[in-house]
Amino acid sequence: MSGNFREAVNATCREMPGAEVSDPWGGGHDAWKVGGKMFACIGAATPGVSVKTADIETATMLIDAGVGIKAPYFHRSWILLPEDCDPDELTHRLCASYDIVRAGLTKKAQAALPARDES
C-alpha cells in the first residue's frame, strides 16, 4: 500500500472533530472512529480505504459508476476506494462517511463531540 495514500487518508481523517484512530485487529490497520463507531478503515493487505455510504443503494450506484468496489468484510453499505481514487472524491467520501456515522450517534454522544466545521 502506498504510504502517500495512507498518509492522505489519515491527514483528512485527523481533521474530523473527535476522530480517533486505532488498530483493533492488529497487523497495521488504521480504523478511524467517531464516538466509538468506525467511519473509515485502511486495511493491512488490501490497497485502498473502506468508507460507509448512506445505504446499500448508494454503495451499489458508486460501485456501478466505478468509484469503488464492495468493501471486503464490511456491510454492503460500505465501499472500498482504490488508491488511485481522485483526491477530491476521496476527501468527499471520507467526509460523507464521517457525517453519516456521526449523525447516527446518540444525541448525547453527538453533543460531547467538538463542532463540525463545514467549510
Q: Is 58 helix (H, G, I), strand (E, B) or coil?
A: helix
In the chain, % of residues over pLDDT 70: 97
Q: What is the pLDDT of residue 2?
A: 60
Check residues 71 and 24 and name the one with the higher pLDDT. Answer: 71
Distance CA 90, CA 66 (A): 13
Q: What is the pLDDT of residue 46?
A: 84
pLDDT tens per residue across span 72-85: 989 999 999 999 99
What is the helix, strand, coil percentage profile of the chain, to 5?
35, 20, 45
First to last CA, the chain: 30
pTM given for the model? 0.92
